[in-house]
Chain A
Amino acid sequence: MADQNNTDDKGKFYSEILSPSELFAARSRSHKIPVRGQKDFFPDDSDEQKQRLEQSLNEHWSLLSEERVERLGNLVNGQWIPSKQIVELQSPAGKFWQTMGFSANGKQCLLPEEALYLMECGNLQVFHQDLPLSIQDGYEKFLSANTVSLQQYQVFGHLKRLGYVVLRFDPSSESSSYARQLNLPQSRDRAGRQLKRKRSLSPAPSSTPTATCSRAEAQEECSTEKMEEDKCSEGEEDIKLPEPPEAQSSADEGGGRSWWMMDVLGDSDKDSGHGSKSGSSCWDFSSISFPDLGSTSREHFPSDLAPPDPSLLPGDLKVGFCDIAPWRQKINLRQVKMSANEQKREKYRRRWDVNKNREVRRCRNWAEYQELMARRKGKREGRPAHLWNREVTPLHDPTQPIATGELLEKISVIKPTHLLEGASRLKDADDWRICFNVYQPNTVADFKKSNPGKPYSRMCVCSFDDPVPDLRAIKLLAYQSGDIPVVIAVVDYGDISFYTFKDFQLPTDVYP
């Protein structure tokens, strides 16, 4: 050294080089760190505090100023290749080769962050143009935006010092989610969803053969199936609608039979509505006698039936008296024995007249009466027709069986989602990238660089100045990572904090 012999203050002032005697004496250095004592709460200018502070500071400086001294035999030599941004080893690698480094062109090489870490541990000496690099040179040459940033190296070093195996993340070497899918069993979620889809596609069995019901279902089906194949849906439509839409007939449809209408119009609220009509085709049932052959009461027990009016008979037909006795033999005339309840019920039943019902009297023809009957049935069974014959139908037919869980799913407004949903469609962004794969420390013994296996987690590095990752970024990271949790390491100058986002499903109160 030029200023070796001159005792210029300036030279020594800036040099931190150890003399050979100091180097030799370094063999017997202690390897223990002094324990830090308790801190004080408040400075009170006491001598005691000053002394303790001085002691702490001296300890601090002596630890920091200590230089790394190693036996030449323990050091592995490497060479920095700036063009490839790697360090090529000149001497055989040591124990670190098990978890670090790679082979290229028949030579053992190290990535820049690995080389810098080994330099800091005192295991590696890197040369550049035949001169040894200091740690400072290593930091300034190896860490850049192209290789590994300073923050990423901080995280790398922190994890390595804890004992983890840290390798760079290579997105292209990760198996696609489809490939992973083939090896993994189907999740319950997916199975459930598939089932659901199948249900909506298959024709729902309709127990009520009303035309309105089937038409509504056919509409549902058509809308889903039309997306698949048009032909198929058309065919289905034909099958599902055999009859013309006469079920939709409202009261406005003309051509209904008028004799009933007349009857309704004729009476107000009178019980007996059979007034005699003049000149109409209405029959007067009060004057037409229908003999009750089964009656047991004496007065209605004629022995024979009188012949009908000859004017009513066609042509020269002559009818004599009719003997009832053989007819009565053909009828079961046994008196039914009824209990008191039954007798009472029978009495009410005989009194009951369907025509007394107001709704029934409002019906002007059989079609309307049938509609009324259908409506009543629907209400009884919980499936009123007026709800089902429109575009918007109820979510679920109460007559159909369904599991509680599926019903809850049907009525839910917010569907549960998981982190990876929709993630494959996201385009890659520049700002959030996975840097490292981290493997557990206890696997170091049988760790193979060629086949590292599944990492413990994946690291993404950022700082507190950066924004918190939004849902899009988290989805992207989770998709890139697959089924391995992504940990975000936030670097705050000297401190590193680790955060991770976990998928969480809200519990449903249903046990299937």
Chain B
Amino acid sequence: MEALSCGERRLGSEEEYAAPAVGVSLCDSAPLVWRMQDLRAVRAEGLVGALLGSLPRTPRQNGRLGRPLLLLPEEEGLLRERRAAAALPDRCQDWGGAELRQKHEEEEKRSFEEQSVLALEDRKLALLRAMTGAESGATSADEALRRRLQALDQNFTFPQSAMAVQLSTARAGLSYCPEARAFLQAYGPPGAEPRCDARYQVFRDLRGRGFYLTSAGKFGGDFLVYPGDPLRFHAHFIAVCVSLDESVCLLDVLAVARLGSNVKKTVLLCSPGPDARVCYTSLQWSGMI
């Protein structure tokens, strides 16, 4: 299990306090985050993302999903701008090499041996519990159990099929590409120019004000704006990004206002202005006064 929280860092030098960089893997050109501490780091930056995979504990339900975490293009852009993320190579150079195979086999053998030992101890404990459990109990039953206990060391077998095996979520252990990670750690990811499209500007501004944002396609808008972490709070706004010089059809405004009032959220028309400021207009449906 994960031993470290996202707070722990490796300090390279005295002056710089380098936060661990988030490794982003591309799958079908979509930015995915797989590792636990990468997910925590992303959350620490105030970015929510969207979980796509089955939850290991209960895979056959859609209520709660598991890793990987899909990042919005704006989220990825923001991480790159803050020099907090970089793309990882999708394959390790020496995948499938003989050395790796050997390591894997050794690991499996070692795991099997340890698990057999643990299984034997576990069985013994169970028998002991059964013996002491019987209070006054017939000594014949106790005797039988004691005999079984003694025989256990010789007769106990731990079949291969009973061995527990891990199906790793993230690319782990043998193939996690240690070189690339080390490189990222030492030099940090390259910075990226902030994007200039309207959506990114709005995202950046709202995030900077402390809001949490997720995508809002099914609400007819660009982003859903939460006052705090979405785990604990409901969304207040539906942000629709419109550029200042773009003319908006009145019917579209009415449609989005209706939508917003139906789901009890305020519609926010967001327009990035000339001096990196964003202009916000909220729509409220009210009667004539």
Enumerate chain B residues within 8 angstroms of A2, measured Cβ to Cβ.
103
A493 vs chain B, min Cβ distance (A): 4
Q: Verify A22–B10 contact, CB threshold 8 A.
A: no
Q: Does B160 contact A (CB under 8 A)?
A: yes
Q: Does A298 contact B (CB under 8 A)?
A: no
Q: Verify B50–A53 contact, CB threshold 8 A.
A: no
Chain A CB within 10 Å — which of B35, B110, B122, B185 has the most? B35
Q: Does A316 contact B (CB under 8 A)?
A: no
Enumerate chain B residues within 8 angstroms of A43, measured Cβ to Cβ.
227-228, 233
A184 vs chain B, min Cβ distance (A): 36
Q: Verify B233–A39 contact, CB threshold 8 A.
A: yes
Q: Verify A122–B68 contact, CB threshold 8 A.
A: no
Q: Verify A24–B59 contact, CB threshold 8 A.
A: no
Q: Verify A64–B175 contact, CB threshold 8 A.
A: no
Please report which residues of chain B, range 43-93, place their CB below 8 angstroms from some CB of chain A when the two chains form the complex. Answer: 43, 50-68, 70, 72, 90-91
Q: A394-407, CB under 8 A of B: which get 1 and which 0?
A: 00000000000000
Checking B30, B64, B68 against A136 with a beta-carbon cut-off of 8 angstroms, the contacting residue is B68
Please report which residues of chain B, range 95-125, place their CB below 8 angstroms from some CB of chain A when the two chains form the complex. Answer: 95-96, 100-101, 103-104, 107, 110-111, 114-115, 118-119, 122
Q: Does A135 contact B (CB under 8 A)?
A: yes
A179 to B137, CA, bound (A): 78
Checking A1, A31, A69 against B164 with a beta-carbon cut-off of 8 angstroms, the contacting residue is A69
Q: Does A226 contact B (CB under 8 A)?
A: no
Given contact pairs A15-B176, A131-B104, A154-B52, A56 touches B232 in the complex (Cβ within 8 A): yes
Q: Verify A134–B232 contact, CB threshold 8 A.
A: no
Given contact pairs A130-B96, A493-B50, A16 touches B39 in the complex (Cβ within 8 A): no
A129 to B161, CA, bound (A): 22
Q: Verify A42–B36 contact, CB threshold 8 A.
A: no
The B contact surface, by secondary structure, is: mixed
Q: Verify A131–B95 contact, CB threshold 8 A.
A: yes
Enumerate chain A residues within 8 angstroms of B111, measured Cβ to Cβ.
20, 23
State the total of A-B contacts with C-beta under 8 angstroms. 257
Q: Verify A40–B233 contact, CB threshold 8 A.
A: yes
Stretch touching chain A among B166-174, B189-197, B248-256, B269-277? B166-174
Q: Verify A23–B115 contact, CB threshold 8 A.
A: yes
Given contact pairs A41-B234, A119-B167, A135 touches B53 in the complex (Cβ within 8 A): yes
Q: A1-21, CB under 8 A of B: which get 1 and which 0?
A: 110000001101111111011
Please report which residues of chain B, range 178-223, place their CB below 8 angstroms from some CB of chain A when the two chains form the complex. Answer: 178, 181-182, 185, 214-215, 217-218
Q: Does B28 contact A (CB under 8 A)?
A: yes
Stretch touching chain A among B1-9, B128-136, B141-149, B278-286? B1-9
Given contact pairs A57-B229, A66-B56, A493-B50, A12 touches B3 in the complex (Cβ within 8 A): yes
Q: Verify A134–B161 contact, CB threshold 8 A.
A: no
Q: A58-74, CB under 8 A of B: which get 1 and which 0?
A: 00110111111111110
A2 to B174, CA, bound (A): 9
Enumerate chain B residues within 8 angstroms of A57, measured Cβ to Cβ.
43, 229, 231
Enumerate chain B residues within 8 angstroms of A463, measured Cβ to Cβ.
217
Checking A10, A42, A134, A162 against B227 with a beta-carbon cut-off of 8 angstroms, the contacting residue is A42
Q: Verify B54–A121 contact, CB threshold 8 A.
A: yes
Q: Does B32 contact A (CB under 8 A)?
A: yes
Interface size grouping (class) on chain B: 35 or more
A68 to B54, CA, bound (A): 11
CB nearest neighbor in A for B106: A1
A32 to B90, CA, bound (A): 34
Q: Verify B167–A122 contact, CB threshold 8 A.
A: yes
Q: Does A410 contact B (CB under 8 A)?
A: no
Q: Verify A136–B164 contact, CB threshold 8 A.
A: no
Q: Verify B28–A149 contact, CB threshold 8 A.
A: yes
CB nearest neighbor in B for A56: B231
Q: Does B18 contact A (CB under 8 A)?
A: no
Enumerate chain B residues within 8 angstroms of A73, measured Cβ to Cβ.
159-162
A232 vs chain B, min Cβ distance (A): 56
Enumerate chain A residues within 8 angstroms of B37, measured Cβ to Cβ.
13
Checking A16, A22, A60 against B35 with a beta-carbon cut-off of 8 angstroms, the contacting residue is A16
A463 to B50, CA, bound (A): 15
Q: Verify A61–B40 contact, CB threshold 8 A.
A: yes
Enumerate chain A residues within 8 angstroms of B96, measured Cβ to Cβ.
128-131
Q: Does B27 contact A (CB under 8 A)?
A: yes
Enumerate chain A residues within 8 angstroms of B181, measured Cβ to Cβ.
14
Given contact pairs A16-B35, A16-B172, A53 touches B228 in the complex (Cβ within 8 A): yes
CB nearest neighbor in B for A152: B28
A29 to B166, CA, bound (A): 14
CB nearest neighbor in B for A20: B114
Chain A CB within 10 Å — which of B39, B165, B185, B215 has the most? B165
Checking B36, B59, B161, B175 against A122 with a beta-carbon cut-off of 8 angstroms, the contacting residue is B59
Checking A30, A60, A70 against B167 with a beta-carbon cut-off of 8 angstroms, the contacting residue is A70
A121 vs chain B, min Cβ distance (A): 4
Checking A21, A26, A63, A143 against B55 with a beta-carbon cut-off of 8 angstroms, the contacting residue is A63
A307 vs chain B, min Cβ distance (A): 103
A163 to B172, CA, bound (A): 31
CB nearest neighbor in B for A37: B232
Q: Verify A134–B171 contact, CB threshold 8 A.
A: yes
Q: A61-92, CB under 8 A of B: which get 1 and which 0?
A: 10111111111110100000000000000000
A275 to B165, CA, bound (A): 131
Given contact pairs A52-B232, A161-B60, A495 touches B114 in the complex (Cβ within 8 A): no
Besides A20-B114, A56-B231, A145-B28, 18 more A-B contacts (Cβ < 8 Å) are A12-B4, A16-B169, A17-B173, A22-B1, A39-B233, A40-B233, A63-B64, A64-B36, A65-B36, A71-B165, A72-B162, A73-B161, A121-B59, A131-B101, A134-B170, A136-B170, A492-B215, A494-B65
**Footprint of B on A, CB under 8 Å?**
1-2, 9-10, 12-18, 20-24, 26-27, 29-33, 39-43, 49, 52-53, 56-57, 60-61, 63-73, 75, 117, 119-122, 125, 128-132, 134-137, 139-140, 143-145, 149-150, 154, 157-158, 161-163, 463-464, 490, 492-495, 497
Sampled A-B contacts (12; CB under 8 Å): A12-B3, A14-B176, A17-B172, A20-B111, A33-B57, A40-B232, A131-B100, A136-B168, A139-B32, A140-B25, A140-B26, A163-B60
**Footprint of A on B, CB under 8 Å?**
1-4, 10, 20, 25-28, 30, 32, 34-37, 39-40, 43, 50-68, 70, 72, 90-91, 95-96, 100-101, 103-104, 107, 110-111, 114-115, 118-119, 122, 159-176, 178, 181-182, 185, 214-215, 217-218, 227-229, 231-234
What 4 A-B pairs have minimum CB-CB distances, sorted nearest first?
A: A494-B50, A73-B161, A492-B217, A129-B96
